[in-house]
């Protein structure tokens, strides 16, 4: 974003001058701002070409030619989020504005590609999805659509935005449908390998089937969780705390709809009217050091919760990473309906 100031022009700038400025800045657009630097509009090279073909005078001002409602990005957005926005809108450059509308940068598509990481991501996609019958009678739950795409595709895109491009998907129920849909991952720009459970092995037991060689921590995530969690921060936290296993946790509040009576020696000591209790619940996202794979029993049902207990017993660190971003476990029809209602505002902004 260091050269964006070269593209800033006033609304009274002529088309001729705007073309010169765009050429000098080697950008695909100029940004029209007021005297305070607030965004008024943009003029792209395509806009200029169309104006010339229409016979517009080179002395016309950009105020008459610019797009007054351009797509913008904000400083808090990650490169992955900005890249997705540009790809969805089929644009290659986007102005960055602060809360006051002042232009603070210009992002190009090629600047927004995160370096690829060597960590593997394991997605658990073999569940029966019984609570979502009849939807899952012929469609595996990870392929149910939320918004305009299957749950698994959204999960993969969220990881990909942070540079994670190597995936292992654990399969069981209707496994061929997932394989046929995702293939080797090429159409999503990632690598996908599969492990197939002949019987249910649990969220950790399936990891005993992994054949890839790695020394890097692995993400393990349920294939029915939609989240915008920052996987970069998750990995950094895991390393900073020197954890063997880190569990993504979500704050959960539960209000008892009655007065709670506390007793002591048959006497009432306190009555709390409709108290609210707060818990940290398992978010279905884990990060574990590669050496833990050797501890997982083969061909045995074994959950991540049991792995966590066993790791704690050995004295290794098991930590929690709070998920403060959007998170939805799609286990019931109500969850699926809610996720569909929220999808466009959460994942397409």
* Residues 100-133: tens digit of each pLDDT: 999 999 998 877 776 788 999 999 998 888 898 8
- Domain limits at 97? 4-112
Q: Which of 91, 112, 133 is the last residue of a domain?
A: 112
Which pLDDT value is given to residue 2?
Answer: 46
- Which residue ranges of the chain lie beneath pLDDT 50? 1-2
Which pLDDT value is given to residue 1?
Answer: 42
250 and 339 in a single domain? The answer is yes
183 and 330 in a single domain? The answer is yes
25 and 165 in a single domain? The answer is no
Which pLDDT value is given to residue 162?
Answer: 86
Which pLDDT value is given to residue 344?
Answer: 86
Which pLDDT value is given to residue 110?
Answer: 73
**CA count, 13 A, side-chain hemisphere, 331:** 6
66 and 178 in a single domain? The answer is no
127 and 104 in a single domain? The answer is no
334 and 277 in a single domain? The answer is yes
What distances in angstroms separate CA 16 from CA 19, 20, 44, 56, 319, one per listed residue?
Answer: 5, 7, 13, 11, 60
Which pLDDT value is given to residue 227?
Answer: 92
CB 321 within 8 A of CB 234: yes
108 and 130 in a single domain? The answer is no
Which pLDDT value is given to residue 349?
Answer: 55
**CA count, 13 A, side-chain hemisphere, 163:** 13
Beta-carbon contacts of 46 under 8 Å, excluding residues fewer than 6 positions away, are none
d(CA 302, CA 311): 13
43 and 63 in a single domain? The answer is yes
Give the number of domains in the chain: 2
CATH number for the domain that contains residue 255? 3.90.550.10
* Residue of 191, 193, 194 whose CA lies nearest to 126: 194
315 and 252 in a single domain? The answer is yes
Q: Which of 112, 141, 166 is the last residue of a domain?
A: 112
CATH number for the domain that contains residue 64? 3.10.580.10
77 and 144 in a single domain? The answer is no
288 and 174 in a single domain? The answer is yes
Q: Which two tokens stand for residue 196?
A: 């197939």
Q: Which of 54, 85, 112 is the last residue of a domain?
A: 112
124 and 67 in a single domain? The answer is no
């Amino acid at each position: 974003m260091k050269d964006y100031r070269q593209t800033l022009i006033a609304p009274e700038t002529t088309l001729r001058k705007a073309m010169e400025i765009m050429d000098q800045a080697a950008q695909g657009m100029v940004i029209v701002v007021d005297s305070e630097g607030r965004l008024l509009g943009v003029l792209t090279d395509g806009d200029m070409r169309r104006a010339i073909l229409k016979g517009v005078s080179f002395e016309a001002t950009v105020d008459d030619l610019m797009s007054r409602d351009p797509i913008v990005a904000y400083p808090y957005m990650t490169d992955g989020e900005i890249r997705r926005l540009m790809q969805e809108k089929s644009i290659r450059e986007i102005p960055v504005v602060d809360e006051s509308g002042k232009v603070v940068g210009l992002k190009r598509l090629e600047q927004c590609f995160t370096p690829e990481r060597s960590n593997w991501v394991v997605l658990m996609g073999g569940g029966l999805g019984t609570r979502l019958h009849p939807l899952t009678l012929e469609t595996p739950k990870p392929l149910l659509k939320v918004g305009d795409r299957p749950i698994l595709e959204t999960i993969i895109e969220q990881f990909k935005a942070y540079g994670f491009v190597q995936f292992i998907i654990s399969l069981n129920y209707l496994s061929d449908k997932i394989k046929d849909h995702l293939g080797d991952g090429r159409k999503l720009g990632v690598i996908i390998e599969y492990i197939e459970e002949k019987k249910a092995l649990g969220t950790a037991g399936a990891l005993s089937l992994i054949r890839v060689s790695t020394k890097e921590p692995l993400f393990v995530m349920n294939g029915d969780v939609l989240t915008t969690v920052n996987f970069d921060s998750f990995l950094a936290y895991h390393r900073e705390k020197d954890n063997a296993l880190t569990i993504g946790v979500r704050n959960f509040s539960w209000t008892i709809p009655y007065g709670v009576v506390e007793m002591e020696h048959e006497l009432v000591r306190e009555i709390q009217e409709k108290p609210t209790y707060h818990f940290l619940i398992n978010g279905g996202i884990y990060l574990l050091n590669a050496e833990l794979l050797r501890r997982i029993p083969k061909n045995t049902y074994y959950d991540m919760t049991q792995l966590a207990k066993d790791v704690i017993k050995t004295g290794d660190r098991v930590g929690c990473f709070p998920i403060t971003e959007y998170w939805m476990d799609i286990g019931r029809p109500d969850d699926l309906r809610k996720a569909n209602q929220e999808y466009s505002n959460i994942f397409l902004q």
